C-alpha cells in the first residue's frame, strides 16, 4: 500500500512539475540558509561549555553604588583573591587573570604573544588539555610557563619545546622562563584564550601593587564547592567587602551615594563562566543578553515560515484541480485518513528532497558564510544526536502541518461536492491573502532593519570623532627597546620626509588596531572633599598636534619645559567634573605630597569606541609607564609611500618586531564589527525573504492567470486593453502588499527605535526609511507579477477561448 501511495505521489508531483520545482527551490534555499544560521547560533551558545567544572566556575564582579547610580566592574586589586579565599567559605579554587602582550625571545626570534598571567589553580579550574610536558602542578614554579601548540611551532619549529628556556620582556628587562608544558590550541568556542600562560606573580604590576587595595587591574575567577550556591556565597561575602573596602565605602557615603536594597554600598557578585560571551557591564548592572543569537534564530525561523507559506498557498491553489480525484477515491471507499496520508506523503517527499538539497547548499556556502560573518563556526556543531533528532522531527511535523492542511480542507467536502469539482474559495482566499500579507510584512520588516542598520553604520563612520582619523597612522611598539627612545628615533628619522607631518605616541590606541588590543586605565583621587575619577592616557610630546585635537584652553606639552613631567592636560568632560571656573588653576593630587598642574584643556574626542559616551580624560607625560603605540601623521598625497617610509624606519630600529600598522579610520572601522555582522545578517535575511516571497507570489500569479484564462479572453474580445487586464490581475496582490506595509511599518519603527537606544550617538529615524522599504518590496513584487500577468494579457483571445 505504501508503495502505491509513493508512486501516486511521484506521479502527481511530476504532473505539476512547475509548482513542484518552485516549492523545492524555495524550501532548498530556506533549509540551506536556516542550517547555516542554526550553525552560527549553536556555535555561539556553545561558548565556554567545554570546561569539566563549568557549573561551578564564576567570574567575580563588584557593583558599586556611586552618586550617579550604579557601576559594575570586574577589575580587582592584587590582594583580593587570597583574602577572598581565606575569609569567605565556599571557595574551592581561585585564580587571578591578567591579559597583556609579552615580547617573547628565543635565540634570534622575537614574538609578541598574547599572555595570560594566572595563578596555579587556573589549569585545575579550566579544561585546557596538555599534549606535552607536565599535566599537573602547572605554574607552581614561578619560572615556568605553558605555551600552546601553535606558539611552540612558531618558536621552536620541529624542536621539542619542553625544558627549553625562553626570555620574556617584563618592565623593560629580559627574564628567563622554562617551558614546562604545551597545551592544545585554544578551542574556537572559548572566551578565555592565550598564546602563553605565565605565573601571576611575574606580571609587570605585581610588585608595585601586591599590598595595595586601590590598584584594580585584573580579573578574578573562582570555583565554588559543590554544595555552595551563588546566592549563599554572595550573601556570605558582605562582611568581607564591608571590611576590606571600608575606606572606599566611607567615601561613597561622603559623596552622596545611596545604598542598594540590602543597605550595601558595595556588593560582590558572581557571573557563571558559561555567560561570559553574553555579558555586558556597561549599563551599570549585569546584563546577560543573547539578543544576537535570538535574532539569528528568529531570522532562520522567519525564512522557514515564508517557505512553508509558499507551500501552503500553492497546495491550496492546486487543491481545486484534485477535487474529482478525491471524490472518486471516496466513492471507491477511501477513508479520510488515506486521503490525508496521500497528501502528507507528497509533501514529505518534497520536504525530504529539499532538505537534502538544503544540506548540500549549506556545505557549498559554508566558507563564504564564515568569511562574511567572521566566525569559525562549522557544521560539526550540528552533528549531535539531540540536534539531528530534533531536526528530523521538525521536518516531519512541518511537512505534516503544511502538507496536511489542504487534505483536511478537502476532506471536509462530501463525496458529491468533490465529484462536482466545485470548491467555495472564499475562505481559502482569505487564508491565502493573510499568509501573503504576513510574508511581505516580514520582508518589509527585515528591509527596514537593513536600512536602519546601514544608516547607523554610516552615521558612526562619518561622525566627527574629534581627531584626524584619515591621515594618522598607528602601530604597536612591540620591540625590545625603550618605547620613548623608539618614538624619538622615529621622529628624528621621519620628520626629514616632506610627507611626514608629525610623530608621537601613547599607551593606548584609538579604535582597534591590527594587534586587536583595546583597554582603558581609570584613576581615582580626592578633590576638595569628593571623589573624582578619570580615564588616563600616557602620551609623548606632540600628541595633540599629531592627532589634530582641538586645544580649547592653555597649551600643549612642551619638550623644553622640564616641569611638564608634572603637568596634565584634560578634556572638557574632566573640566566639567572638576567644576572649576578656571580649570587651568587646578592642582590635582597625585600623591599626598605631589600635585600635578592642569596646563591645557582639549575639546572632547572619542578616545573610546563611539558606542560609548565620552568620559573624563587626563593626559600625562610619564616615562615610568611607557608608550605602547606610535602615531604618525602623513600628508594626504602619496599615503602608500608614506606608510612604506614608516615601516622602513621602524624596521631599522626594531628589525625583529612585527609591523602591525593601520590608519585610524581602519582602526575605528574595526570597532564596528558587531554592527557590520548584524547588518550583513539582516541584509542576507532580507534578500532571502524577498526571494522566497517572490517565488510564492510568482507561483500564485501564474496559477491565477491560468485559472482566469477564459475570463481574460472574453474581456479582450469585448474591448479590454492590455493595461486594464494587467491592472486587474495585479491590483489584488498590490493591495495585500499595501496592507503588509501598514502593519509592518509601526513594528519596524518600534523595533529599530529600541535598538538605537543602546547607542549614545545615533542617527535620527524618519518615515522615508520605512517608505523606501515598502516601495522596494512593492517594486520587486510588481516586477515578479508583471512577467506573468502581461504575458496573459497580450495572449491571443482566440487561444484563450478554445474548447478544451
pLDDT tens-digit profile of 125-165? Answer: 999 999 999 888 899 999 999 999 999 999 998 899 999 99
Last residue of a domain, one of 203, 224, 245: 224
Whether residue 612 is found in the same domain as residue 707? no
Instruction: Check pLDDT > 90 for residue 634.
Output: yes
Cell numbers of 414, please? 462530501
| Mean pLDDT value of segment 170-178 | 89
Candidates 438, 180, 489, 483; CA nearest to 312 is 438
The answer to whether residue 271 sits within a structural domain is no
Whether residue 519 is found in the same domain as residue 627? yes
Q: How many CB atoms lie within 10 A of CB 386?
A: 7
Instruction: Check pLDDT > 70 for residue 110.
Output: yes
Cβ neighbours of residue 580 closer than 8 Å, sequence gap 6 or more: 586
| Mean pLDDT value of segment 640-669 | 91
The answer to whether residue 665 sits within a structural domain is no
Last residue of a domain, one of 207, 224, 241: 224
Whether residue 488 is found in the same domain as residue 415? no
| Mean pLDDT value of segment 556-564 | 87
| Mean pLDDT value of segment 264-280 | 92
Stronger pLDDT, 716 or 415, i.e. the higher one: 716
Stronger pLDDT, 336 or 68, i.e. the higher one: 68
The answer to whether residue 286 sits within a structural domain is no
Q: Which residue has the cell 581565606?
A: 86
- The DSSP code for 507 is S
The answer to whether residue 258 sits within a structural domain is no
Pairing of strands 530-538, 617-620: parallel
- The DSSP code for 75 is -
Q: Is 308 left (phi over 0), alpha (psi -120 to 50) or beta?
A: alpha
| Mean pLDDT value of segment 633-645 | 91
Candidates 121, 114, 85; CA nearest to 192 is 114
Q: Which residue has the cell 551615594?
A: 257
Whether residue 370 is found in the same domain as residue 487? no
Cell numbers of 171, please? 618592565
Whether residue 591 is found in the same domain as residue 614? yes
Instruction: Check pLDDT > 60 for residue 423.
Output: no
Per-residue pLDDT band for 326 (boundaries 50, 70, 90) equals low
Instruction: Check pLDDT > 80 for residue 717.
Output: no
What SS3 class is residue 270?
strand
The answer to whether residue 592 sits within a structural domain is yes
Least confident of 8-12, 226-230, 515-519: 8-12
Whether residue 487 is found in the same domain as residue 441? no
CA angle 579, 583, 587 (to 5 degrees): 100
Question: What pLDDT score does 229 carry?
Answer: 92
β strands within 546-592, DSSP E = 551-554, 567-571, 587-589
The answer to whether residue 246 sits within a structural domain is no
Measured between alpha carbons, how far is residue 236 from residues 55, 233, 261, 264, 359 in Å?
20, 5, 16, 13, 52
Report how many domains make up the chain: 3
Of the chain, the end-to-end C-alpha distance in Å amounts to 35
| Mean pLDDT value of segment 456-474 | 91
Last residue of a domain, one of 224, 242, 273: 224
Instruction: Check pLDDT > 90 for residue 24.
Output: no
Phi, psi of 217 (to 5 degrees): -145, 0
Alpha carbons within 13 angstroms on the beta-carbon side of residue 212 total: 10
CA angle 12, 15, 18 (to 5 degrees): 115
The answer to whether residue 48 sits within a structural domain is no
Per-residue pLDDT band for 803 (boundaries 50, 70, 90) equals very low
Whether residue 423 is found in the same domain as residue 453? yes
Whether residue 299 is found in the same domain as residue 355? yes
**CA 73 – CA 276 distance, rounded (Å):** 14
CA angle 504, 507, 512 (to 5 degrees): 95
Whether residue 383 is found in the same domain as residue 406? yes
The answer to whether residue 278 sits within a structural domain is no
Whether residue 511 is found in the same domain as residue 453? no
| Mean pLDDT value of segment 624-646 | 90
Whether residue 421 is found in the same domain as residue 307? yes
Domain range for residue 611?
Answer: 479-659
Q: Which residue has the cell 517608505?
A: 771
Query: Cα dihedral sign for 225, 228, 230, 236?
Result: negative
What percent of the chain clears pLDDT 70, i.e. is strictly above it? 89
Quick one: angle between helices 709-717 and 722-756, nearest 10? 130
Amino acid at each position: 500500500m505504501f508503495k502505491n501511495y509513493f508512486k501516486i505521489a511521484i506521479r502527481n508531483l511530476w504532473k505539476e512539475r512547475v509548482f513542484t520545482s518552485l516549492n523545492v527551490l524555495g524550501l532548498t534555499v530556506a533549509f540551506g540558509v536556516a542550517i547555516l544560521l542554526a550553525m552560527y547560533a549553536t556555535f555561539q551558545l556553545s561558548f565556554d561549555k567545554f570546561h569539566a567544572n563549568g557549573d561551578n566556575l564564576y567570574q567575580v564582579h563588584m557593583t558599586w553604588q556611586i552618586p550617579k547610580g550604579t557601576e559594575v566592574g570586574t577589575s580587582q586589586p592584587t590582594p583580593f583573591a587570597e583574602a577572598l579565599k581565606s575569609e569567605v567559605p565556599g571557595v574551592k579554587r581561585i585564580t587571578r587573570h591578567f591579559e597583556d602582550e609579552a615580547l617573547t625571545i628565543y635565540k634570534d626570534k622575537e614574538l609578541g604573544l598574547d599572555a595570560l598571567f594566572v595563578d596555579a589553580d587556573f589549569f585545575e579550574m579550566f579544561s585546557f588539555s596538555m599534549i606535552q610536558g607536565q599535566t599537573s602542578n602547572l605554574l607552581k614554579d614561578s619560572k615556568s610557563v605553558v605555551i600552546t601548540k601553535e606558539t611552540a611551532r612558531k618558536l621552536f619549529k620541529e624542536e621539542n619545546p619542553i625544558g627549553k628556556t625562553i626570555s620574556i620582556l617584563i618592565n623593560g628587562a629580559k627574564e628567563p622562563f622554562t617551558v614546562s608544558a604545551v597545551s592544545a590550541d585554544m578551542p574556537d568556542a572559548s572566551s578565555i584564550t592565550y598564546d602563553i600562560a605565565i605565573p601571576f606573580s611575574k606580571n609587570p604590576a605585581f610588585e608595585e601593587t601586591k599590598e595595595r587595595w586601590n590598584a584594580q587591574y585584573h580579573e578574578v575567577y573562582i570555583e565554588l564547592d559543590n554544595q555552595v550556591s551563588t546566592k549563599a556565597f554572595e550573601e556570605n561575602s558582605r562582611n568581607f567587602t564591608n571590611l576590606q573596602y571600608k575606606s572606599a565605602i566611607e567615601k561613597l557615603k561622603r559623596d552622596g551615594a545611596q545604598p542598594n536594597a540590602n543597605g550595601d554600598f558595595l556588593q560582590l557578585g558572581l557571573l557563571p563562566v558559561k555567560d561570559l560571551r553574553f555579558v555586558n557591564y556597561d549599563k551599570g548592572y549585569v546584563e546577560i543578553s543573547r539578543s544576537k543569537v535570538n535574532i539569528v534564530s528568529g531570522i532562520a525561523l522567519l525564512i522557514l515560515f515564508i517557505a512553508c507559506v509558499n507551500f501552503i498557498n500553492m497546495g491550496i491553489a492546486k487543491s481545486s484541480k484534485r477535487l474529482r480525484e478525491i471524490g472518486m477515491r471516496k466513492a471507491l471507499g477511501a477513508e479520510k485518513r488515506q486521503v490525508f496520508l496521500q497528501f502528507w506523503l507528497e509533501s514529505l517527499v518534497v520536504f525530504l528532497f529539499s532538505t537534502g538539497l538544503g544540506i548540500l547548499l549549506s556545505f557549498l556556502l559554508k566558507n563564504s558564510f564564515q568569511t562574511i560573518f567572521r566566525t569559525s563556526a562549522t557544521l560539526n556543531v550540528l552533528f549531535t544526536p539531540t540536534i539531528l533528532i530534533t531536526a528530523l522531527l521538525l521536518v516531519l511535523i512541518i511537512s505534516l502541518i503544511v502538507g496536511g492542511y489542504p487534505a483536511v480542507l478537502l476532506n471536509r467536502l462530501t463525496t458529491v461536492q468533490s465529484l462536482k469539482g466545485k470548491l467555495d474559495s472564499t475562505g481559502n482566499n482569505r487564508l491565502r491573502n493573510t499568509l501573503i500579507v504576513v510574508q511581505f510584512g516580514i520582508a518589509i520588516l527585515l528591509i527596514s532593519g537593513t536600512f536602519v542598520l546601514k544608516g547607523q553604520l554610516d552615521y558612526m563612520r562619518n561622525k566627527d570623532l574629534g581627531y584626524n582619523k584619515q591621515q594618522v597612522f598607528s602601530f604597536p611598539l612591540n620591540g625590545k627597546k625603550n618605547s620613548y627612545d623608539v618614538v624619538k628615533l622615529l621622529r628624528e628619522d621621519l620628520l626629514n620626509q616632506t610627507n611626514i607631518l608629525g610623530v608621537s605616541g601613547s599607551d593606548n590606541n584609538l579604535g582597534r588596531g591590527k594587534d586587536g588590543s583595546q583597554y582603558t586605565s581609570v584613576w581615582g583621587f580626592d578633590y576638595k572633599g569628593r571623589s573624582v575619577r578619570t580615564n588616563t592616557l600616557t602620551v609623548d610630546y606632540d600628541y595633540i598636534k599629531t592627532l589634530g585635537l582641538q586645544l580649547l584652553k592653555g597649551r600643549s606639552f612642551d619638550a623644553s619645559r622640564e616641569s611638564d613631567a608634572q603637568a596634565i592636560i584634560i578634556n572638557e568632560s574632566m573640566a566639567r567634573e572638576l567644576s572649576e571656573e578656571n580649570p587651568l588653576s587646578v592642582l590635582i593630587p597625585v600623591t599626598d605630597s605631589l600635585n600635578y598642574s592642569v596646563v591645557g584643556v582639549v575639546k572632547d574626542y572619542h578616545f573610546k569606541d563611539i558606542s560609548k559616551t565620552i568620559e573624563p580624560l587626563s593626559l600625562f607625560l610619564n616615562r615610568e609607564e611607557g608608550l605602547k603605540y606610535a602615531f604618525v601623521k602623513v600628508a594626504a598625497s602619496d599615503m602608500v609611500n608614506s606608510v612604506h617610509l614608516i615601516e622602513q624606519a621602524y624596521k631599522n630600529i626594531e628589525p625583529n618586531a612585527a609591523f602591525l600598522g593601520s590608519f585610524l579610520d581602519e582602526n575605528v572601522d574595526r570597532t564596528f564589527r558587531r554592527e557590520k555582522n548584524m547588518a550583513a545578517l539582516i541584509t542576507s535575511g532580507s534578500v532571502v525573504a524577498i526571494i522566497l516571497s517572490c517565488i510564492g507570489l510568482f507561483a500564485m500569479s501564474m496559477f491565477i492567470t491560468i485559472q482566469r484564462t477564459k475570463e481574460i479572453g472574453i474581456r479582450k474580445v469585448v474591448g479590454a486593453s492590455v493595461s486594464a487586464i494587467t491592472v486587474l490581475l495585479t491590483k489584488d496582490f498590490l493591495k495585500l502588499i499595501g496592507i503588509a506595509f501598514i502593519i509592518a511599518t509601526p513594528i519596524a519603527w518600534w523595533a529599530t527605535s529600541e535598538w538605537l537606544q543602546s547607542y549614545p550617538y545615533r542617527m535620527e529615524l524618519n518615515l522615508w526609511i520605512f517608505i523606501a522599504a515598502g516601495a522596494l518590496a512593492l517594486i520587486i513584487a510588481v516586477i515578479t507579477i508583471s512577467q506573468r500577468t502581461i504575458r496573459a494579457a497580450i495572449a491571443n483571445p482566440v487561444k484563450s477561448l478554445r474548447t478544451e
